[in-house]
Amino acid sequence: MTLSEYNKKRNFAVTREPKGKKVKSKNNRFVVQFHRARREHYDFRLEEDGVLISFAMPKGFSCSCHDKRLAVHVEDHPLEYISFEGRIPRGEYGAGTVEVFDKGRYEADGKISDGIERGEFKVTLYGEKLKGKWAFVHFKEDNFLAICEGGEVEKEMKRKLPFYDASVQLASLTNRLPNGKNYLFEIKYDGYRALSFIENGKVKLKSRNGKDFTKKFAIIAEDLGNSFKDRTMILDGEVVVFDKDGRSDFSSLQNSIKSGKNNFSYVVFDVLALDEDTRSMPLLERKKLLKDLSKFFTPNIILSEYVLGNGKECFEVAKKLGLEGIVAKKIDSKYSGTRNDDWLKIKCRRRQEFVIGGYTLKDGLLASLLLGYYKGEVLVCVGKVGTGFSQSLKEDLVKKLSKIKTKSAFTNCEEKEAIFVAPKFVAEVQYAEITNAQLLRQASFVALRTDKDPKEVVLEEV
């Protein structure tokens, strides 16, 4: 297969791939490239007579003599391709990304081209990861079988994540529903936000502020690992527990954590990486990737459904169902990992996190929590909450808070009976309004939020 076929398939005004031309060479080099195209595969290329004789291998090499791997003979590639890495543009032949997996020298029992003609050849590879001898045996058309005759494949051709840490995309609070079909709308779930880093069956779950959730939600990690043993991806979603009416409920989630029920679900609404970084892709394209992945989800892993446009109707349904709210997202937005107007949250009821800066007691029991939010570096008191606590929760909170007593961190709190604490805990609170005096009215405690950094708590009122 000559270089002319290689050149016919490519528009070199668009692709960065080298133009095919034959050059003199005497080296026996080889390269294995991992090609993330429409169908992911490995490309095995051997230097001979000034070109790279090439094979596409869907599963790469195996070091087991019982595991025969398909190798499809394709067109020769130019020698310069031996070091090519990068993206082949969409619409071009082989569109996707190419990266070098391994390279080195090889020895063969004669010329590779002659072996292809007679239907069999053997190569010994001296690479950084591939070391050993493989026989290539023809069985039909351009198809060969690669059979190991002794060797090793370091890390068994495993794929790696493009990155191992990320900031989550956050929604800005608004009370105005965006119009038009430039937005999609989803349910706002009431749980723990979690990124899942999945690499060849190994899973790490991280909270929005980087805490390791893997052990806490082991059943989710196990399901993701079993579903995607041969893939690498980073998913964004919410760990929740659903109540009897199908609503996500944070109190139920916390109770399940304490009791060890393991009845958690992971609602997935975005993908940051799928073998390669996808954060710069438009949201709708990322949603299509998720839809394809959802075929492999277990019952504990749930795809977050959405509607295009119709935000008003979506919001009215959320209110009737007693949901916390909805999220509106621009369909062409990138995943920037910041809080901006690409994602907007519209709440059915007023609810947000506040920093606990103190508490009061009555007859030795918890009476109320003193709450605040940060305005720059200053902690501003916004009043107190005295309802929503069970007896056991009151005892637990006093036990926690009594250990961190200190001087007031507030700038404006004059509660005479207050016991002030270091601002280390965050409480989620539901309330009727914030008055003109900037105090909470009809506040009710919902839950402690160990996944939120107190320094990030600002007033969300709009």
pLDDT tens-digit series, residues 237-272: 999 999 888 899 888 998 899 888 889 999 999 999
Tokens of 392: 């056991």
Residue 234 is predicted with a pLDDT of: 97
Domain membership of residue 188 (yes or no) is yes
Residue range 105-156, pLDDT digits in tens: 999 989 999 999 999 999 999 998 888 899 999 999 999 999 998 866 655 5
Same domain for 207 and 257?
yes
Domain membership of residue 461 (yes or no) is no
What is the four-CA torsion angle of 159, 160, 162, 165, rounded to 10 degrees?
140
What is the four-CA torsion angle of 131, 69, 223, 453, rounded to 10 degrees?
50
Same domain for 213 and 247?
yes
Residue length, the chain?
A: 462
Residue after which a domain boundary falls, among 102, 133, 157: 157
Residue 332 CA to residue 325 CA, distance in Å, equals: 22
Query: Do residues 11 and 64 touch, judged by C-beta distance below 8 A?
Result: no
Tell me: pLDDT of 44 over 70: yes
Tell me: pLDDT of 71 over 80: yes
Q: Which helix (H) or strand (E) holds 431?
A: none
Residue 257 CA to residue 264 CA, distance in Å, equals: 9
Confidence of residue 55 (pLDDT cuts 50, 70, 90): very high
Q: What is the mean pLDDT of residues 417-443?
A: 92
Domain membership of residue 387 (yes or no) is yes
Give the largest Cα separation in the chain, rounded: 95
Confidence of residue 450 (pLDDT cuts 50, 70, 90): confident
Same domain for 176 and 314?
yes
Residue 178 CA to residue 312 CA, distance in Å, equals: 9
Same domain for 133 and 189?
no
159-163 long-range Cβ contacts below 8 angstroms, 24+ apart:
159/34, 159/199, 159/200, 159/230, 159/231, 159/232, 159/275, 160/199, 160/232, 161/197, 161/199, 161/232, 161/234, 161/273, 162/232, 162/273, 162/275, 162/276, 162/277, 163/234, 163/273, 163/277
Domain membership of residue 163 (yes or no) is no
Residue range 377-390, pLDDT digits in tens: 999 999 999 999 98
Distance of CA 95 to the CA centre of its chain: 23
Tokens of 149: 């005759």
Looking at residue 400, which CATH number applies to its domain?
A: 2.40.50.140
Same domain for 320 and 365?
no
Domain membership of residue 384 (yes or no) is yes
Same domain for 134 and 9?
yes
Residue 381 CA to residue 354 CA, distance in Å, equals: 9
- Domain that residue 224 falls in: 170-347
Same domain for 36 and 74?
yes
Output DSSP code: residue 19: P
Residue 287 is predicted with a pLDDT of: 96
Close Cβ partners of 80 (under 8 Å, ≥ 6 residues apart)? 18
Domain membership of residue 289 (yes or no) is yes
Residue range 156-170, pLDDT digits in tens: 556 788 888 999 999
Residue range 183-220, pLDDT digits in tens: 999 999 999 999 999 998 899 999 998 899 999 999 99
188 an active-site residue? yes
Residue 408 CA to residue 369 CA, distance in Å, equals: 13
> What does the mean pLDDT of the chain come to?
91
Same domain for 142 and 272?
no
Query: Do residues 226 and 298 touch, judged by C-beta distance below 8 A?
Result: yes
Looking at residue 174, which CATH number applies to its domain?
A: 3.30.470.30
Residue after which a domain boundary falls, among 107, 123, 157: 157
Whose CA is closest to 180, among 311, 337, 322?
311
Same domain for 148 and 242?
no
Domain membership of residue 462 (yes or no) is no
**How many domains does one find in the chain?**
3
Entry pTM = 0.62
Residue 61 CA to residue 127 CA, distance in Å, equals: 13
Q: What is the mean pLDDT of residues 303-324?
A: 91
Same domain for 406 and 325?
no
Same domain for 343 and 358?
no
Residue 158 is predicted with a pLDDT of: 62
Query: Do residues 398 and 359 touch, judged by C-beta distance below 8 A?
Result: yes
Same domain for 125 and 198?
no
Residue 153 is predicted with a pLDDT of: 61
Domain membership of residue 164 (yes or no) is no
- Please, how many CA atoms are within 13 Å of residue 202, restricted to the half-sphere of its CB? 6
Residue after which a domain boundary falls, among 129, 157, 185: 157
Kindly name the residue from 24, 26, 155, 188 that is annotated as catalytic: 188
Bridge-based pairing state of the strands 307-308 and 325-330: unpaired
